[in-house]
Amino acid sequence: MAFDSKKMFSVEGKKCIVTGGAQGLSRGMAEGLLENGAEVVLMDLQAEKLDAVVKEYQEMGYKAYGVAGDLSKKPEIDRMFDEAMKLLGGSLDVMVPAAGIQRRYEPWEFPEDMWRLVIEVNLNHVWFMCQKAIQVMRDKETIGKIINIASMSSYFGGTTVPAYTAAKGAVAQLTKSIASDCADHSICCNAIAPGYMDTEMCANMTQARKDECTARIPAARWGTPDDLKGPLLFLASSASDYLNGAVIPVDGGYLVK
């Protein structure tokens, strides 16, 4: 049968959750889904900002909803997921647990509370959202898509970011573990590993460190939230139904230089 690319790459009508959607890469990915006819619940800690973003999308005619709360806390994750499922009418096609934080300290002075917070947001919330998505998506007719957000720190050690690096390494491995167990239960779990992306997360890097990174990027520029839309839409659509457990760098070639 001929490959109908319009149909295979479509996300029209898909029900999605994107965490961290008030800004940055999560917002860009949510926007890509909305622009292409999906229904999206955006979740974020920044209630006011989230409200404004969702309102803007609703005024554009998109099916966007917001659920505010703190994803570093399990009871909040439970509440937020339940609220999202109500908004989506009880079904879920795409889960993108993309919220994340960065804390930078030398390893000899990394504060314990910061270590725990980074692990809660960058690893534990990802796992709990994956598990909840699996419970809803399992053994359905349409293949459910879980798209985790890894990082260059899934490959490299970086400097002054031990908690972030530990969490992102774990997210890459978690993606493979879920793919192994869920591929024959109608679920694909893949990850995007963004390179250096121009968002608030990197705003406090020193200019010297930023220049050092830019010099190593073959594309000669930092990525933007728009750069993730294409890979995300591919992973969310039926075109990637036989792609499972992959960690895909979207990094302007950084990793291969």
175 forms part of the interface with ligand NAD (CB under 6 A): no
Question: Whole-angstrom Cα distance, residue 57 to residue 16?
Answer: 15
182 forms part of the interface with ligand NAD (CB under 6 A): no
Q: Which of 6, 200, 204, 242 binds ligand NAD (CB under 6 A)?
A: 200
Residue with the two structure tokens 């005619």: 61
Residues 135-174, one symbol each (x = binds ligand NAD by CB under 6 A, - = not), give --------------x-x-----------------------
User: Which is closer to ligand NAD, CB of 23 or CB of 186?
Assistant: 23
Q: Catalytic site residue 164?
A: yes
User: Which is closer to ligand NAD, CB of 199 or CB of 244?
Assistant: 199
Contact 233, 36 (CB under 8 A): yes
Q: Which of 30, 95, 121, 170 binds ligand NAD (CB under 6 A)?
A: 121
In terms of residues, how long is the chain?
Answer: 257
Written as six digits, the tokens of 146 are: 């879980």
Q: How far is the CB of 7 from ligand NAD (least distance, A)?
A: 30
Question: Whole-angstrom Cα distance, residue 25 to residue 44?
Answer: 13
Q: How far is the CB of 109 from ligand NAD (least distance, A)?
A: 22
DSSP annotation of 201: G
| Cα 253 to the center of its chain, rounded Å | 20
**CA-CA-CA-CA torsion sign (51, 229, 198, 250):** positive
Strands 94-96 and 63-68: unpaired
Binding site for ligand NAD (CB under 6 A): 20, 22-26, 44-46, 70-72, 98-101, 121, 149, 151, 194, 196-197, 199-202
Active site amino acids: 164
